[in-house]
Amino acid sequence: MIKKVSQTIEKYNLLEKGERVVVALSGGPDSTALLAVLASIARELELSLIVAHFNHGLRGMESDEDEKFSRELSDRMGLVFCAAKMDQNNNNKKGVSPEDFYRLERYGFLNKVAADYQAQKIALGHNLQDQAETVLLNLLRGSGLEGLKGILPKRDGNIIRPLIEISRPEIISYLNKTGISYRQDSSNKNKMYLRNKIRTGLIPYLKEKYNPKIEENLAHMAEILRADDEFIREYTAQALQSSFIQRQQNNILLKTAYINKLPVAIRLRLFKTILEDFSPAKNGFSFIHIKSLDNLSQKCESGKRLVLPLGIEIRREYDNLILECKKIRLVQAKYEYPMNIPGSVYIKERKVTLHAQLSTKESIDLGSKSKVYLDFDKIQQPVVIRNRRDGDRFQPLGMPGRQKIKNLFIDRKIPSSQRNEIMLLVDRLSVIWIENMHLSDRVKITAETKNVLKLEITNP
């Protein structure tokens, strides 16, 4: 199995030599096998492993036993062990399912461990059966390509799944042969969850009645569809750069003559992308919403309006389609997170992760709208990521003096309800970066720049 995992790592370029890797260990067979395999190839790849266990506390003593097992296993292997327990008083956010809430909490913890130890990768134990279950789950939900492509072997550059092409029987066989014990999660048998129903009911039925290799075929289909989805994603990204699509803070104008000539697959994906850009959680829209927007673009006359979730209003004005967000999620609370460089920080108030990586001038992508580049040597550490504070000042790029960030927000016509949403990167001296707006003149890239800091925001 080790050879097969190594082939997966090479196939998807999951690891580089000398990297520091956070291994998510629940104590179950998948994550235990993942840790054992990575430990076996760590010397060859010069890897440094940090074990991270998140105790959801949902199964009482059983959850605590999982944590104890994970700690003892890590100690026997001589590895650093980090653990956290979810605060049961931390209420689930409105509009988020319990499963998504637990996932966000877990990823927040893993990203924090990665940032604390300056790890480049976070390894998760999803396997081939998980892939098949995910594809079926999304199929039952009526998903498109983005759902049917399943679990990505590598996501956001740092989340990796080395076991994604390994079957569960192979994992159990490997653990039994090597004499490595593991824990069993009793909640996996709870048929209250749709995924468990698929695992214990639907897939066995399909294997018996239709195709004994249904799991392998579903995983293979996901691999094929990932390539198709990537093509559509890239084509859509190019379309979004068109001058026929004009973006403002809470307003997007689309020229229908341009939009309506796009292939249907690209047009619908473009509408989906634009709508999700208005959503802090990047979701909340169904195919009905997207199709209604398409109908407004294709068939309706000027003056027609459409109201969608999250306070989004869409109107047709002659040859223009205008999308406007009337209701903005309000973040009142102050937040602040220490930022290690290089490292990643999950900002739970925004449900995004900010990645900070060292780079070179030669690798700067001037055409990218998702990346920001700073002169690393001009930054006065320590650095934090936070929202605004009274009296914050900033030196805009190309300007000799500093001005209040409040005045800058007013000049940019940013509604007061949105101002606490915006992330600021702050070093020991001042604010050096304002999300989606400005870079401080003090840390700009110049001909003398030697070390570059790249910032990038991703979703969990």
Taken in order of first residue, the domains within the chain and their CATH numbers are 2-226 (3.40.50.620), 242-325 (3.30.465.60), 336-458 (3.50.40.10)
Query: Pick from 226, 207, 455, 233: which is nearest to 355 by CA?
Result: 455
Condensed to tens digits (0 to 9), the pLDDT of residues 211-257 reads 999 999 999 999 999 999 999 999 999 998 889 998 876 788 999 99
Condensed to tens digits (0 to 9), the pLDDT of residues 278-300 reads 776 566 678 888 888 898 888 87
Cβ neighbors of 34 (< 8 A, separation 6 or more) are 23, 25, 123, 124, 125, 162, 163
Q: How many CA atoms lie within 13 A of 420 on its CB side?
A: 12
Among the residue ranges 91-100, 153-162, 244-253, the one predicted with the least confidence is: 91-100
pTM assigned to the model:
0.66
More confident residue, 163 or 352: 163
How would DSSP label each residue in 4-22? HHHHHHHHTT---TT-EEE
Res 429: pLDDT: 85
The position carrying tokens 């395999």 is: 37
**CA–CA gap between residue 222 and residue 216 (Å, rounded):** 10
Res 94: pLDDT: 47
% of the chain with per-residue pLDDT over 70: 89
The pLDDT mean for the chain works out to 86
Res 44: pLDDT: 93
Among the residue ranges 41-45, 343-347, 410-414, 430-434, the one predicted with the least confidence is: 410-414
Structure token pair of residue 155: 């996501």
Average pLDDT estimate for 128-141: 93
**Model confidence at 396: pLDDT above 80:** no
Average pLDDT estimate for 257-279: 89
Average pLDDT estimate for 418-447: 84
**CA–CA gap between residue 15 and residue 42 (Å, rounded):** 11
The position carrying tokens 């992308």 is: 273
Res 403: pLDDT: 77
**CA–CA gap between residue 142 and residue 351 (Å, rounded):** 25
Cβ neighbors of 134 (< 8 A, separation 6 or more) are 150, 151, 222
Q: Which of 163-167, 273-277, 312-316, 434-438 is most confident?
A: 163-167
